[in-house]
Structure 1
Amino acid sequence: MTTDDITSELVTLRDYWRYAISRFNAAELSYGHGTTTAGDDAAFLLLDSLDLPIDTLDPFLDARLLPAERRLLAERIEARVSTRKPSSYLTGRAYIQGVRFLVDERVIVPRSHIGEILFSEYLGEHGSSYLPDPMAVESAVDICTGSGCLAVLAAKFFPNAQVDAVDLSADALEVARLNLAEHDVADRVSLHRGDLFTPLAGRKYDLIITNPPYVDHAALEAYPPEFRAEPAMAHDGGEDGLDLVRRLIAEAPDHLNPEGGMICEIGSGREILEEEFPHLDFLWLETAESQDAVFWISAEALGAA
């Protein structure tokens, strides 16, 4: 079917959702960029393309679409199938706990467990049992910031903090700069280009946040096209996925204030990390999809002076 055929035959959002699911299933697409099924991915692509709430499909299912809207959806469904790019690259937007961020192929599509943890710990009724008091945090840093999403959330959750954000990719920092402006935090978040803590010589923080590349080489080799569409540097964590995590553990003590700590996402390397660092007291944090992908460790446990 041509685009004209599709737009003449399909008129409601329900029509396009059903059509997208059928196309996605037939093409055996892969998911994991904020969605896990063809239905969820189709719903995100359609709703975000129409600038509708991405978690509210039912009220709009039987709405008749304008001709321009039909064409846009038909083109994006075709692009999702033919290019195998993540849907967020097609709409230019991704979300963490409902907060919208601008994205393109210069950055990995944000989907960190840390975002969920920050929301659950700081929006919970009794506050966090391990993270610092948000009003007491005066300095924070986001290492491997990518699109800047976690740095933006840090600025929102820690209203008294100045936040540094570091990435090795100049392209990623350009996207991060867009998100700082989008969320009106450019006056409180400073971007730095460099390798982990290298551009931060002498600086110490109350909180280190980091979601570094942590995919091992075997997993990289098996990546489907959707994941290969993202910058390889944002995934590559070395042979076992923990090269950068080891460096972060080694270098973090020099950049932490005594009462501070580090929250770090590592993927599936818990067993390797605990065997290699038996003397460290990792606190593993549970999320909706994982029990051991993120750890918290205090400055004291790391031996920070």
Structure 2
Amino acid sequence: MKSRDPYLRKRGDGAEIFAIRKPRHADYWRKRAFPVLLVIRTSDGEARWMEIRDYPKRESDGGQATKRIVFDGERLDVMSARRWRAHVLGNFTDRKEPSMISQEKMQRIINDMFYPLLEKELITALDYIRWGASRFNEMKLFFGHGADNAVDEALTLVRHALYLPPDAPTELFRGRLGWKEKGAILELFTRRIQERIPAAYLTREAWFAGIRLYVDERVLIPRSPIAEWIGRGFAPWVEDPDSVGHILDLGAGSGCLAIAAALAFPEARVDATDISSDALAVAKRNVVEHGLQDRIRIIESNLFAATEIEGPYDIILGNPPYVDAQEIATMPPEYRHEPRIALAAGKDGLACVAPILREAGGFLPSKGILVLEVGASRPALEKTFPNLPLTWLDLESGGENVFLITGGDLRHAFP
């Protein structure tokens, strides 16, 4: 470890050069299993580092190890330290030549170097929440899968790593963390940043309409604003929630809408359909976990195709695929982890919505309602069906991308 700028010299092309003053050091590094780090703390207090054990071998000229290193080290912080730790341990495990020390001893050596950095910089869960949020913003992550900001995303991951419930008191986050807890948090942070995996997939948990659900990459992460109107009982179109006897959820995915509807309308039987058997396996798991298997029927179907789908239904609702081709091509990396079949809906985003509109009237009574989320495909929908009397529902979350239409209006529009 070297301090201050004089250890670096700038070359004509602007590269920073560190000179190895004793060539025998370079020869020693190449022959040993130990990692070799060059850490330089500059005059402004910033520390940077790079691994240099194999550098002399890589840059050798005519069999003689180089005496100069082009220093392109990254900033020394907790995240880079964790990446380096995993990298070195992996390289050590893969080494074929005999080593003077065991892998276990090497891991202890690395931990002795790594963990003091954690102890110095980050101590409490609140420290990690603040630090994680800063890193997420720094790396320009996208938030649209439950949390809409970096702080809530970091909080979700920290809470999961510490086995704390959503309503855990703030006092618990002020306590000092152990090494294993710090490691678990950093593992989640690292994957969130490097792989751009949304928090819900990392934790295998999502909350929807106050309901805890299991989720994985077989289903979309629940986030439909239809939850707001389920909570309102779809008033005034539905006058008495207890009068609702039959509900159809098209494109059930994780089962979030079906479960929320079953809980909001206690006398209703719910048919939850999806074209994906993988998605329905997740939905079935959630239905069982909430003890609703006697009221929610899981049906594999492409929209209304399955013979088990028999109306009339008092309510048909759904969050079908509605993302058009242009939007699919420009979506943030986080969306690449979700099943494409649950997002992509052709050139105009109406590949599923249009046939639902044409067929739903045959499964609804005159006062029954169809409620669908269509996202950014609303302009295409209104252009394609300009005379359709759609009611766009107000949403507390903002926007108007959920419509409602009655069975009577659908049969009039599509006789």
Q: TM-score, normalised by structure 1?
A: 0.92
The equivalent of 1:118 in structure 2 is: 230
Q: What letter corresponds to residue 72 of structure 1 in structure 2? A: A
The equivalent of 1:29 in structure 2 is: 141
- After superposition, what is the alpha-carbon deviation per residue over 1:59-83, rounded to whole angstroms, capped at 9, x for unaligned? 4331223443222112111111121
Counterpart-to-counterpart distance in 2, 1:111 and 1:259: 27
Which runs of 5 or more residues in structure 2 are unaligned? 1-80, 86-113
- Find the structure with the greater CA-based Rg: 2
- 1:138 matched to 2:138? The reply is no
Tell me if the contact between 2:362 and 2:411 (Cα under 8 Å) persists in the aligned partners. no
How far 1:158 moved relative to its partner? 1.1
- After superposition, what is the alpha-carbon deviation per residue over 1:90-132, rounded to whole angstroms, capped at 9, x for unaligned? 000011133211100111111001112212x13xxxx822235
- SS of match in other structure, 1:259: coil
Counterpart-to-counterpart distance in 2, 1:47 and 1:260: 42
- 1:108 matched to 2:207? The reply is no
- After superposition, what is the alpha-carbon deviation per residue over 1:9-61, rounded to whole angstroms, capped at 9, x for unaligned? 43311111122123212322111001122122111222234343436674433
Counterpart-to-counterpart distance in 2, 1:57 and 1:80: 25
Pairing 1:212-291 to 2, within 5 Å after superposition? 212-291=320-399
Counterpart-to-counterpart distance in 2, 1:116 and 1:59: 31
- After superposition, what is the alpha-carbon deviation per residue over 1:140-198, rounded to whole angstroms, capped at 9, x for unaligned? 01000000010001110111111000111111011101100111111110111120011
The equivalent of 2:262 in structure 1 is: 155
Counterpart-to-counterpart distance in 2, 1:291 and 1:174: 32
RMSD value over aligned CA atoms?
Answer: 2.0
Q: What letter corresponds to residue 203 of structure 1 in structure 2? A: G
Which structure has the higher relative contact order (CA within 8 Å, separation 6+)?
Answer: 1
The equivalent of 1:93 in structure 2 is: 205
Q: TM-score, normalised by structure 2?
A: 0.68
- After superposition, what is the alpha-carbon deviation per residue over 1:234-276, rounded to whole angstroms, capped at 9, x for unaligned? 1001111112110110010111123311111000233332332
Label 1:234 to 1:14 Cα distance change in 2 as closer, same or farther (>3 A).
same
- SS of match in other structure, 2:367: strand
Aligned counterpart in structure 2 of residue 43 of structure 1, from 129, 136, 155: 155
Tell me if the contact between 2:323 and 2:377 (Cα under 8 Å) persists in the aligned partners. no
Counterpart-to-counterpart distance in 2, 1:183 and 1:7: 40
Tell me if the contact between 2:126 and 2:174 (Cα under 8 Å) persists in the aligned partners. yes
Label 1:202 to 1:177 Cα distance change in 2 as closer, same or farther (>3 A).
closer
Tell me if the contact between 1:134 and 1:157 (Cα under 8 Å) persists in the aligned partners. yes
Label 1:203 to 1:130 Cα distance change in 2 as closer, same or farther (>3 A).
closer
